[in-house]
Structure 1
Amino acid sequence: MRSDIVRAGVFIGVDHSGNLQPLKDAAAGARRMYDWALHQGVVDGRQAQLITDEDGRKVDPGQIYDAITEIVDGPGADQLIVYFAGHGVNLNRSEHWLLSDAPRQTGAAVNVAGSVELARYCGIGHVAMISDSCRVAPAGIQAQNVRGQDVFPSDGGGSRAHPVDQFFACRLGRAAGEIQDAREAATGFTAVYTAAMLDALYGFRDEVFDHRTDPVDGARFVVPHLLQAYLEREIPARLRARGLRQVFNQEPDALLMRHDYWLARVVPTAAEPLRGPETPRPPRRAVTLRDVAGRLVSAAAHQSEAELRQEIWKAEQRPDIGTDSLAARVRRTAAPFGPDHDESGCGIKIRGAQLVECFAYGVQCETLGKDGDLVRVHDPDGRLPASVILRFASGVGTVVPVFTGFLTAITFDGPELVDVAFEPSANHRRWAAFVGLADRVRVVRAVTGAVAQYDRLDLDSTTAAHLLDRARYGDTVDLGVALRVAYAHHDRQEPLGEIQRLAALQRGQLGGVLFDIALVGRELVGRTIGPVTGVVPFVPLVARGWALLHAHRVGLPGGLAGVEAGLRDSDWAVYGVEELGHMRRVLATGAVR
């Protein structure tokens, strides 16, 4: 572990975003983080920049981009900390930071996922993104239309990925709270997450130090995984102490990579000596939905089907933390429905929604069933795989792929699209290998899909490999599980080879690869999607994929620009009628397949 790393930071605080409720401590919190960076020895000026809306100033994405680019292109840094405090929204499972003119101005926001993607390749050895903001669904049409911008340069000097850690004040879909500071009475408010983090970064909490010390001056080091463990215990405790635990129910989150970097270097002084690791750790935190979800995923990867179903039953017994609805989602999506084959060997079946229209290019789609819940796909000219646009009576629709010998199974739960699955048709050769393992494959797929929708599928490489093995039948790996594992590999910055092997397997067996797997495998960087790109559908199947397109410089044919503005709040990509019309017109020209 190096103790002499060159460090830089950009600290952003926005109290006022459009007509949203003003915050009282976001700008001040950014200033306190900036002061900490100076205390750490980060040089003022080009290497430590403070951007806030204090004194009536406005903050826009260009300021943040310029500050980060100045550091990337400047004398160089081994580590960059980017901190944001302000309003945030979760758009299609991707976080966006709202700046001064948001949400009215749709581009006055930061696309965090795209920025993280570019940060990995900007050439800096370690980037830490710290977000003290809400991650709630957008309220109202203005927030829904926010798209945001990437704030890292796309031409960074890095030729390989470097670790990017992400710290969040709360879990996806939750609010981060400001609490009233008793010392300031009714006039002062403090962001609880930033306050707790600064206590750790200044070295006031023993449990955040690892075992190493600098032999020169005795300095100790605050490391990311111990900092996160402390925050997970500390934030709920602070909220409970103020009687606000039920109001905010705030659970800090983090996505941490494997590396040897530290976040703070603290030298003991005579006035404030470091007490060392013998200090008792705080009590263990309460069980959360993420804990139960992790047990479900572990059981899906490592235990028998009977043991997995027992874990699902246990999850149903915890309505106090919301795992009963997670378990219900698993049971619903694991249950088979509809016919197990189609005469053509390829089709679509729908559960929980009424189909109004289906459209494809180069293949024929025939609506069947008394409720229009079946689509037979004819492929007289051998054009499969292909994309099919589906429009439903509820006024939304989606784009799904179809493959030779497979049925694409779609499940709605009320207005929400909760599952897209792909299973062999019973009149295809793959059925023999699938039928004996169908129950196991379905429940593994249901667990991985449901957990990914409720929060994040956080997999180590061993668990990911076991999940793929449990979802294998013959020479085929279930496409739904492969999709979720690919995103999990991407989130944890696992070697690209793992994702690219999944893509190669799909191409070899199915003649095409899911758009999302090619995307996170970086196979689409700098490419324009066309009829021979070999990806289906022609847009991301999972909504969060849209947040990565700009960072990967993925081009779409004319007529598709801006269709992401019609995305509904959903894990799977669901669009409004107007955007479906745009996609239908482009598909009809043969510009995509």
Structure 2
Amino acid sequence: MAKRSVVIAIGIERSGKLPRLPGAARGAKDFAAWAMENAYEVALFTDEGGKDVTFDAIRSKVEEFVDALDVGRLILFFAGHGCASAAETMWLLSKYDRRSDEVVGVEASEKHARRCGIDQVSFISDACRNSVPGQPFFTPRSLFQRQQRIATPAQWDHFEAADIDGAAQEVAKPATETEPAEHYGVFTSCLMQALKGNVSAAFARPRGEGPCVTSASLATFLEKAVAYETDLLAGARPQRVDANSGWREPNDVYVSFPKGHIILSTSALDRKERGFEIHRFSVDALSELEPLESWTPPRPKSRKSVASDRIRRLRERSNGRLRRRRAKFAAAEGRASFETHVGVTVIGSSIARVAARPEYWRFSEGGADQIAVRTEVPATLLLETAEGDFVAVLVVPGFVATLVVEKGAAASLSYAPSANGGFARACDLYRETIMPAVHRLTAEMEAKRTPDANAVIALLDALRAAGVVDPGAGVLAAHALEQAGRIAKIRELAQFFAATPDEYGRGLIGTPFDVAYLADSEAAAVGAFPLLTKGWAYLEPDDARVSRIVLEARRGLKPSLWTTFDAAAGAMLAAELDEGRLA
């Protein structure tokens, strides 16, 4: 029996006292209408008519679809207000300002969705990802339950209208004598143009008789079209889409069209394979209280040329920044060894305080703070920087860590075998193959790029060849594979950690918290909490592995790739470490 395809479309114009988004409900209705035309079963939630959209109502519908066990594809579409913290992205429902748990935790929902038993899941969101007042007190919840039954991980698509700290922008079409004023999100408009077959730039290579829009072609199109269109709007800035295309052939088609399909709104831009028909309207930035003034664009040819050049320059600057970051992390070399075979070199800041259970001592060498640790088992250190923030480091016997601190936050954390330890045989392979790959992966994730899953798997193969798995490479790889939906590979990584002996074969290295948590492993994890900031979005209050004090500290996370706390949260966790209540 063929499995069902279902859509949950959510459009919320009014969230608490935030500015009204007139195009949100329309966007959800447009998406729902397209879905019904293409044989999807649809559940539509909007706040039209003064209704509230509640978390329980949406989750009830999600549970209905998941528990039916006959759904093969599930798409969630959201248009409305959103925000993002250092760890997670959130969708704000109607009464989020009165009930702090009327907030959808997007990362946690995506994590559970990939394990819910449905073959393909897609999250599509036209919402901001910057901050809003009261954000530290939100209690985001997952729309999907944590599944206990064994299931093949879902193929996973993710299309966010804006990058972290970015604003999704809404277009305002002024009223005319015959038509009322209209509002719609730029991202949603581009999305619907693609799904309705109105732009050839969204089509994949031909399959069968007619054109089609696939997971990969949609991601490529949205990345180009949304940036291009927003750059054509006066007073706006190019809006960068966060896209991950994880659906795989042959089941990666969103919509297909018959042979001879006519493109209704082909534009000069589309003919240049850049994407989208230009609308000469004003723009409302969702993060602003007042709409921007309307404008009269110059002649299309010159305007398009300026937009293309500006986007090209932005892309070149981004790639240049990525190269510079990789070079900077590679140049930040720490000590080759400590007499204890384990320790940390700190570059970019001085350390005011160390909170740790094992014995340690500090000294300065080569202009950098050095921390030698005496321990036979992995342990968590919490380092207070000169700026007053706290950085978390996991030390592992046989490995020397290099921590790069910028403005008090941890930008890079890499490991290498100690030159005088039991893993010394792997030092050459680390320098030549593993460390360059780790620095590239660090720079990509810090820049919020989607890493190439195949390159990550190649890194893990190199680690297996070395016979060791260091915690930094393992944590980065686990999160990159999670982002790509490659859950089986994370489980293989966790098993490798769990079976790898320490430097002298006296015991096992142990599995870092992030890797164990993402692999859904019941095995004991080393470390008291996630090393990567992104991992904090997945923590659940009812999980026995997570202490209450750790969950409270989540509010104090700083924006950084690696876990960094503000002064209050850091001091609270430091006291727990010093007193032996955290490992």
**Shorter-chain TM band:** 0.7 to 0.9
Is 2:368 aligned against 1:368?
no
Aligned match for 2:245, one of 256, 267, 273: 256
Distance 1:440 1:76, change over 3 A: closer
Task: Tell whether the 8 Å contact from 1:355 to 1:372 is kept in structure 2 after alignment.
Answer: no
Which residue does 1:195 correspond to in 2?
A: 189
Aligned match for 1:556, one of 538, 546, 567: 546
Is 2:225 aligned against 1:227?
no
Is 2:404 aligned against 1:408?
no
Aligned match for 2:36, one of 24, 38, 47: 38
Offset of 1:551 from its aligned partner? 9.8
- For the residue of structure 2 that corresponds to 1:122, the secondary structure is coil
Offset of 1:189 from its aligned partner? 2.1
Is 2:379 aligned against 1:392?
no
Offset of 1:554 from its aligned partner? 5.7
Distance 1:400 1:186, change over 3 A: farther
- For the residue of structure 2 that corresponds to 1:509, the secondary structure is coil
Is 2:559 aligned against 1:565?
no
Is 2:203 aligned against 1:208?
yes
Aligned match for 1:8, one of 6, 13, 16: 6
- For the residue of structure 2 that corresponds to 1:559, the secondary structure is helix
The percentage of counterpart residues that share the same residue type is 23
Give the letter aligned to residue 172 of structure 2: Q
Which residue does 1:518 correspond to in 2?
A: 516
Aligned match for 2:445, one of 440, 445, 452: 452
Between the aligned partners of 1:449 and 1:584, the Cα distance in structure 2 is 26
Q: Which runs of 5+ in 1 are unaligned?
A: 287-316, 528-532
Which residue does 1:289 correspond to in 2?
A: none
Is 2:504 aligned against 1:508?
no
Distance 1:237 1:586, change over 3 A: closer
Between the aligned partners of 1:104 and 1:398, the Cα distance in structure 2 is 34
Normalising by structure 1, report the TM-score. 0.79
Task: Tell whether the 8 Å contact from 1:123 to 1:156 is kept in structure 2 after alignment.
Answer: no
Task: Tell whether the 8 Å contact from 1:122 to 1:156 is kept in structure 2 after alignment.
Answer: no
- For the residue of structure 1 that corresponds to 2:66, the secondary structure is helix
Point out the more displaced range, 432-441 or 487-496.
Answer: 432-441
Q: Count matched residues.
A: 532
Is 2:484 aligned against 1:492?
yes
Give the letter aligned to residue 52 of structure 2: K
Between the aligned partners of 1:323 and 1:552, the Cα distance in structure 2 is 41
Between the aligned partners of 1:172 and 1:284, the Cα distance in structure 2 is 27
Q: Which runs of 5+ in 2 are unaligned?
A: 276-312, 503-508
Q: 1:438-477 to 2 correspondence within 5 Å? A: 438=431, 441-461=434-454, 463-468=455-460, 474-477=466-469
Q: 1:532-551 to 2 correspondence within 5 Å? A: 533=524, 535-550=525-540
- For the residue of structure 2 that corresponds to 1:129, the secondary structure is strand
Write out per-residue CA displacement over residues 127-176 of structure 1, whole angstroms, 9 at most, x where no aligned residue: 2211111233x255x22443411011334766222222112223344322
Give the letter aligned to residue 342 of structure 1: F
- For the residue of structure 2 that corresponds to 1:239, the secondary structure is helix
Between the aligned partners of 2:28 and 2:240, the Cα distance in structure 1 is 21
Offset of 1:64 from its aligned partner? 1.6
Point out the more displaced range, 443-452 or 467-476.
Answer: 467-476
Distance 1:197 1:157, change over 3 A: farther
Distance 1:147 1:350, change over 3 A: farther
Distance 1:284 1:484, change over 3 A: farther
Between the aligned partners of 2:385 and 2:220, the Cα distance in structure 1 is 45
Give the letter aligned to residue 178 of structure 1: E
Task: Tell whether the 8 Å contact from 2:125 to 2:160 is kept in structure 1 after alignment.
Answer: yes
Offset of 1:319 from its aligned partner? 8.3
Task: Tell whether the 8 Å contact from 2:203 to 2:211 is kept in structure 1 after alignment.
Answer: no
Distance 1:505 1:78, change over 3 A: closer
Distance 1:367 1:165, change over 3 A: same
Aligned match for 1:418, one of 397, 411, 416: 411
Q: 1:322-337 to 2 correspondence within 5 Å? A: 322-337=318-333
Between the aligned partners of 1:151 and 1:390, the Cα distance in structure 2 is 35
Is 2:42 aligned against 1:48?
yes
Distance 1:228 1:586, change over 3 A: same
Which residue does 2:61 correspond to in 1?
A: 67
Give the letter aligned to residue 142 of structure 2: D
Distance 1:327 1:225, change over 3 A: closer
Aligned match for 2:85, one of 78, 91, 99: 91
Between the aligned partners of 1:51 and 1:564, the Cα distance in structure 2 is 31
Is 2:165 aligned against 1:167?
no
Aligned match for 2:261, one of 260, 274, 292: 274
- For the residue of structure 2 that corresponds to 1:63, the secondary structure is helix
Between the aligned partners of 2:116 and 2:426, the Cα distance in structure 1 is 45
Between the aligned partners of 1:434 and 1:76, the Cα distance in structure 2 is 51
Task: Tell whether the 8 Å contact from 1:567 to 1:574 is kept in structure 2 after alignment.
Answer: yes
- For the residue of structure 2 that corresponds to 1:83, the secondary structure is strand
Distance 1:186 1:34, change over 3 A: closer
Aligned match for 2:569, one of 555, 573, 579: 579
Offset of 1:65 from its aligned partner? 0.8
Task: Tell whether the 8 Å contact from 1:437 to 1:473 is kept in structure 2 after alignment.
Answer: no
Aligned match for 1:359, one of 351, 355, 358: 355
Distance 1:558 1:96, change over 3 A: closer
Write out per-residue CA displacement over residues 221-269 of structure 1, whole angstroms, 9 at most, x where no aligned residue: 54322222332333234335x434x723123332122433356556659
Give the letter aligned to residue 334 of structure 1: A
Write out per-residue CA displacement over residues 481-500 of structure 1, whole angstroms, 9 at most, x where no aligned residue: 33322222222222524542
Offset of 1:284 from its aligned partner? 4.6
Give the letter aligned to residue 208 of structure 1: F
Give the letter aligned to residue 191 of structure 1: G
Offset of 1:88 from its aligned partner? 2.1
Aligned match for 2:336, one of 322, 337, 340: 340
Distance 1:344 1:22, change over 3 A: same
